[in-house]
Amino acid sequence: MLDKGIYSFSTCWNIKKHTVGREMIEEIKDLGFSYVELNYNVTEEMMKTIEPMIEKGEIGVSSVHNVFPFINDKDYDTDSVMLGFDDEEKRKRSVELLIRSMDYANRYGAKAVVVHPGEVPFDYNIDSDLKKLYKEQGKDSPAYRQLWQEMTERRERLSPLYTKRIQESLEVVSEHAAQKGWDIAIGIETRSRCYQMPSLMEAKTICDNLKGGPVYLWYDIGHAMMMDRMGLYDNLKELQEVQTYIYGVHIHETLELSDHWCPYVHSQDMAYFDHYLSAIDFAKVKVYELKAVCQPDEIDESHRLITTKIAAMKG
C-alpha cells in the first residue's frame, strides 16, 4: 500500500465491524495512513486501546468529529439543531459537548474538530422525501419542484435566525478555547441534507462574523456535490468564493445522491473531480471519509490519482 503521507482517514470506514479500538486503527494503518480522524461513533471503551497508540506515536490524530466520544442521545446526534436550539438548556448542552470534543482533540494533538452546527428544523425529514422524488421523477418534475419550493421558502426565512444562534454558540466555544490556550480549528461542515446548515454562503457569513477566532469552513466535497445536484447552491461557483475559508476537507465522491465513494474510481469519471483538487491542496487537514464497501485497492488507486493530479496541477 502507498504511504499516504499527511493525508488522514476517517474511522467511519470500518467502525461498524470493530469493537476493539486498536484493531480498527491497525486496519487503517495497513492502508498506509499515519493519521486518523476519530469520528462520532468512537466510544470511550474503544479509546482505552487507541490512547496508548496515540501516546506511543503509533498513530497521529488529525481531527475528531463532534460529538466525541460517542454519546447515546438523539438530541445531540449528527442530524440535530445542535448549536441553534431554541431551547436554551439544550443549546448550552450542545456548547458543552463541543467544548468536550475540543478538550479531547487538544489531548490527542489534533488540529481540528469537525462540527455539524445545526439546521433549519422541519416537522419531518423533508430531505428524504425530496431525494426519493429526485430519484423516481427527476429534479425537473412538478412534484420535486413544488416540494423544493416549500423547503427553500422555510429555509430562507429561518436561516438568518439559526445562523445568528449558531454564531453566538460558536462565540462562547471560541472564548473558552482562547482562555484554555487551545490551538484547535473548529470546522463547520457542509452537510448532506438540504435543510441542514451551513450552506457555503452561510458558512462564509459565520466565519466573517467570527473573524480572528478559530472558526473555519470544513468542506465536505461529496456533500457539496449532492447539495449542488439538488439545487441548494452552485457548488463550483461558490467554492471559488469560500476556498480561503477552508481549514479541512472530507474527500469522497458522490454517485447521483449517494455519497462516500472513492473519487475517480467508482464514478469512472476521470475529469469532474479535478474541480476539487485545489481545495484539497489548500486544506490544512485532508481526510478521506469513505464508506465500508470501498476496498483497500480502490482507496489506494483513488489516492494515487488525487496526489498525481495535484502534483501535475502544481507543475
Write down the domain spans for the chain.
8-313
Topology of the domain comprising 8-313: TIM Barrel (3.20.20)
| pLDDT of amino acid 233 | 98
Q: Which residues of the chain have pLDDT under 50?
A: none
Question: pLDDT, tens digit, for every residue of 55-88?
Answer: 999 999 999 999 999 999 999 988 999 999 999 9
**Cβ atoms within 10 A of the Cβ of 188, count?**
27
| Three-point CA angle 233, 245, 230, nearest 5° | 15
Sign of the dihedral defined by the CA atoms of residues 263, 264, 269, 271, in that order: positive
| pLDDT of amino acid 1 | 87
Full-model pTM: 0.97
Q: Are strands 60-65 and 35-38 parallel, antiparallel or unpaired?
A: parallel
Helix axes 21-29, 44-55, angle to 10 degrees: 50
Question: pLDDT, tens digit, for every residue of 15-40?
Answer: 999 999 999 999 999 999 999 999 99
Sign of the dihedral defined by the CA atoms of residues 11, 16, 22, 26, in that order: negative
Q: Report, in this order, helix, strand and coil percent for the chain, each rounded to 5.
A: 50, 15, 35
**What does 217-261 look like in DSSP terms, one character per residue?**
EEEEHHHHHHHHHHTS--HHHHHHHHGGGEEEEEE-EEETTEEEE
| pLDDT of amino acid 83 | 97
Amino acid at 139: K
